[in-house]
């Protein structure tokens, strides 16, 4: 019997499913500890978060913790893989008006990490919250499976990863608006949603920016599933071919509510 626990932290719903019910309290504690660590590093709303040291460096090299370095590397990897659709630099704080003319607009391509030393261009400001959560889903699922010797499915928001052995009948994971799908053990799934807006002008602009209302991607890890989903929203009608070129499984819902899937879905 699968044991399930849910709670909310860092602005997202967290869920853990384990194949051994007796392991559920310890699994929840392990996951909470992993999330607390990452939140203390990356939550830009916390004054003591380590990410602020990077954002305040303004062109000077700064030494960060090993975990912070790994999270930044993950964010930069996703940015490169998605051609910047998932950008670790915040657009609000990297506005051209805030950068003196002698400095070019900062880009994630200009960020360098050497061991645990980060060098970011002047004017760069990081917000890696979403990629850090996806990275944490992968890490948490692997940790629970390894430490407690059971199967685990861990979800933060709309990103889920599985590890260890699967329950009888496999991992049956809800797909937004379409029942459930059996998620292969050791893989991950993420759903990206197009932005919504209440003001007609903003809603029209959002509708023009994407062909899709939602994209669900299955990949070998949660970080790539999340990044590919966001990139697919950004690529419009060409997203299906792009997803298939990367040998991923995906389900698309267009603005009219019609469902499209890759051949492998």
**198 and 231 housed in the same domain:** yes
Per-residue pLDDT, 247: 95
**175 and 202 housed in the same domain:** no
Number of independent structural domains in the chain? 3
Domain edge (last residue) among 126, 144, 161: 126
Per-residue pLDDT, 176: 80
Per-residue pLDDT, 105: 83
What pTM was estimated for this model as a whole?
0.89
Euclidean distance between CA atoms 185 and 163, whole angstroms = 6
Euclidean distance between CA atoms 140 and 154, whole angstroms = 7
Per-residue pLDDT, 169: 87
**193 and 257 housed in the same domain:** yes
**56 and 106 housed in the same domain:** yes
Residue-number span of the structural domain to which 116 is assigned:
51-126
DSSP assignment, residue 19? S
Question: What's the count of helices (H) and strands (E) in the chain, helices before strands?
Answer: 7, 13
Nearest to 70 by CA among 139, 125, 13, 120: 139
The residue to which tokens 């919504």 are assigned: 196
**87 and 211 housed in the same domain:** no
Per-residue pLDDT, 177: 74
The SS3 of residue 191 is: strand
**28 and 146 housed in the same domain:** yes
The SS3 of residue 161 is: strand
Interhelix angle for 129-148 vs 66-81, to 10°? 120
Per-residue pLDDT, 178: 74
Cβ count within 10 A of residue 115: 9
pLDDT by 10s per residue, the chain, length 265: 789 999 999 999 999 999 999 999 999 999 999 999 999 999 999 999 999 999 999 899 999 999 999 999 999 999 999 999 999 998 654 444 555 555 678 899 999 999 999 999 999 999 999 999 999 999 999 999 999 999 999 999 999 999 999 998 899 999 987 789 999 999 999 999 998 743 444 444 444 456 899 999 999 999 999 999 999 999 999 999 999 999 999 999 999 999 999 999 9
Domain edge (last residue) among 108, 126, 144: 126
The 3-class SS string of 55-102 reads HCCCCCCEECCHHHHHHHHHHHHHHHHCCCCCCCECCCCCCHHHCCCC
Nearest to 27 by CA among 131, 125, 153: 153
The residue to which tokens 């939550």 are assigned: 43
Per-residue pLDDT, 102: 57
**27 and 58 housed in the same domain:** no
């Amino acid at each position: 019997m699968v044991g399930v626990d849910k709670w909310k932290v860092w602005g997202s719903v967290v869920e853990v499913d384990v194949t051994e019910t007796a392991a559920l309290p310890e699994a929840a504690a392990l996951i909470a500890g992993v999330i607390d660590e990452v939140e203390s590093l990356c939550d830009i709303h916390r004054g003591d978060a380590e990410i602020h040291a990077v954002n305040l460096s303004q062109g000077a090299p700064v030494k960060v913790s090993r975990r912070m370095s790994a999270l930044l590397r993950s964010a930069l990897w996703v940015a490169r893989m998605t051609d910047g659709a998932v950008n670790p630099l915040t657009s609000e704080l990297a506005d051209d008006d805030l950068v003196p003319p002698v400095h070019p607009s900062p880009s994630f391509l200009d960020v360098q990490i050497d061991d645990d030393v980060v060098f970011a261009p002047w004017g760069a400001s990081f917000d890696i919250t979403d990629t850090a959560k996806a990275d944490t889903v992968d890490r948490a699922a692997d940790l629970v499976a390894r430490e407690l010797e059971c199967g685990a499915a861990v979800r933060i928001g709309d990103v889920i990863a599985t590890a260890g052995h699967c329950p009888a009948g496999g991992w049956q994971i809800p797909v937004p608006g379409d029942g459930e799908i059996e998620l292969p053990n050791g893989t991950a799934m993420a759903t990206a949603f197009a932005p919504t807006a209440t003001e007609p002008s903003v809603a029209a602009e959002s509708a023009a920016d994407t062909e899709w209302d939602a994209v669900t991607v299955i990949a070998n890890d949660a970080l790539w599933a999340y990044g590919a989903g966001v990139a697919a929203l950004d690529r419009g009608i060409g997203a299906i071919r792009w997803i298939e070129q990367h040998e991923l499984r995906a389900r698309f819902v267009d603005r009219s509510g019609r469902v499209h899937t890759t051949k492998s879905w």
